[in-house]
Amino acid sequence: MVRRDITTELLEAAGEYPVVTVFGPRQSGKTTLAQMTFPNKLYFSLEDPDLRMAAETDPRGFLANLPDGGVLDEIQRLPQLLSYIQGIVDRVKKNGIFILTGSHQPELHQSVSQSLAGRTAVMTLLPFSLTELGNYQKDWEPFELIVNGAYPRLHEEGLKPARFFNGYLQTYIERDVRALINLKDLRPFQQFLTLLAGRIGQIINYTSLSNDVGVSATTIKNWISVLKASFVVFELPPFFENIRKRVVKSPKIYFSDVGLASYLLGIETSDQMFRDPLRGGFYENLVILEILKARLNCGKRPDLFFYRDTHGNEVDLVIKQGRKLIPLEIKSAATFTPDFLKGIDRFEKMAGDRCTPGFVLYNGNEQYTLRGTRVINPIKHGGVEGLW
């Protein structure tokens, strides 16, 4: 089993808080992470119907069998336990008692916020990062990585991506979706998922999606909220703080695993992805996702944005580091051209002294610095950790 990058942050959080809650998509490795990091703690999965019934029938009696705490897996199955856990940690006054994991849902997040406010550290575990995937293959080609995705079980067991994502889609996403919204007919939602995969890296247009799927814009907004709550997709908000220009104020949409998006569009090989007209958006998704994982794994707020004004001037990604802003352009091309710097140059002039030297992240072999901007391949040259 691979030691996850988030392990150090998890151990430090357990040393400071009585409860640590680890959210994340299904199959992202939350259970394995908790068991590997805390091998001496009792482990209980609330997916087990008999165990869940016992805990629901007699929560005090169930928790009384955990005098030193434990790992409670899939806590969203029994959120009423949180109030009893609150009483225990207030009485015991000890850190690192309970480790909770959950596939984030709106009601669960609200329950954690209310019952364990000030008592729990909250962390997010996404599928494998590039450094973690290095344990299975040293050198990854980006388009191979995009098609395979990064779910741990897929790599740990050597599963075929198409078969894995077919099962994942039916077993997890559709089940979770049905638990969150009342779907009488699943077909429009499946169509919506595919259309969303085809809009990776684009600004969300609810009206366009509504017209294409044949449901209301309100329904589309609700479905996107459900996918965000289940960690299937994430939004990249626009940056417009203290900007005296007319800027776009709607978010962009990305998938939390590019392998799933590839599967939804029927792209099964790296050659297909390389030739696909959407490859730029998928490469952008891959790189932004790596940066998001790196920040979450070391306990940092994402603070990731994009910038676009009404004249079409754009920067693919802006990292906010304190008061400073780091602009990044992301290109799937293997050949660098000076045009890649235009967006960064304009952003630097607009942001003034708040802007630090930017980066062009591309798919080429060379790395150098041009007009203060570093040009690197983040997949081949050490990942993304050195960007802030």
> At CA 334, angle to CA 313 and CA 155, rounded to 5?
105
Q: Residue 388: is its pLDDT beyond 70?
A: no
**pLDDT score for 106:** 64
Q: Please tell me the distance from the alpha carbon of residue 14 to that of residue 69, in angstroms, as a whole number.
A: 12
For the record, the structure tokens of 240 come out as 């417009």
Q: Residue 189: is its pLDDT beyond 60?
A: yes
Over the stretch 308-332, which tens digit does the pLDDT of each residue have? 887 778 999 999 998 899 999 999 9
For the record, the structure tokens of 97 come out as 């008692």
* DSSP-assigned states of every residue in 92-153: H--SS-EEEEE---HHHHHHHHHHSTTTEEEEE--S--HHHHTTT-SS--HHHHHHH---HH
**pLDDT score for 104:** 63
**pLDDT score for 242:** 58
Q: Which residue has the higher pLDDT, 171 or 163?
A: 163
DSSP 237: P
Strands 70-73 vs 98-102: parallel, antiparallel or unpaired: parallel
Q: Residue 21: is its pLDDT beyond 60?
A: yes
What are the phi and psi torsion angles at 233 (to 5°)? -130, 165
Instruction: Summarize the confidence of residues 161-166 as an average pLDDT.
Output: 95
Which residues touch 88 (CB under 8 Å, ≥6 apart)? 63, 69, 97, 98
Q: Please tell me the distance from the alpha carbon of residue 189 to that of residue 110, in angstroms, as a whole number.
A: 26
Give the pLDDT band (50/70/90) at residue 68: confident
Instruction: Summarize the confidence of residues 49-55 as an average pLDDT.
Output: 94
pLDDT mean across residues, the chain: 91
Q: Residue 147: is its pLDDT beyond 90?
A: yes
Closest among 258, 25, 27, 267 to 162, alpha carbons compared: 267
**pLDDT score for 197:** 97
Chain centroid offset of residue 245 CA:
30
Lowest mean pLDDT among 107-116, 123-132, 302-311: 107-116
Q: Residue 385: is its pLDDT beyond 80?
A: no
Helices assigned H by DSSP within 298-365: 342-351
Q: Percentage of the chain surpassing pLDDT 70?
A: 94
**pLDDT score for 41:** 96
Let me know: does 104 contact 23? Beta carbons within 8 Å.
yes
Give the pLDDT band (50/70/90) at residue 247: low
Q: Which domains can be identified in the chain, with CATH numbers?
A: 7-124 (3.40.50.300), 129-388 (no CATH)
**pLDDT score for 382:** 60
Instruction: Summarize the confidence of residues 224-236 as an average pLDDT.
Output: 92
Give the pLDDT band (50/70/90) at residue 300: very high
Over the stretch 252-297, which tens digit does the pLDDT of each residue have? 999 999 999 999 999 999 999 999 999 999 999 999 999 999 999 9
Give the pLDDT band (50/70/90) at residue 204: very high
Please state the pTM of the whole predicted model. 0.93
| Alpha-carbon distances of 111 from 76, 148, 331, rounded to whole Å | 9, 35, 41
**pLDDT score for 131:** 92
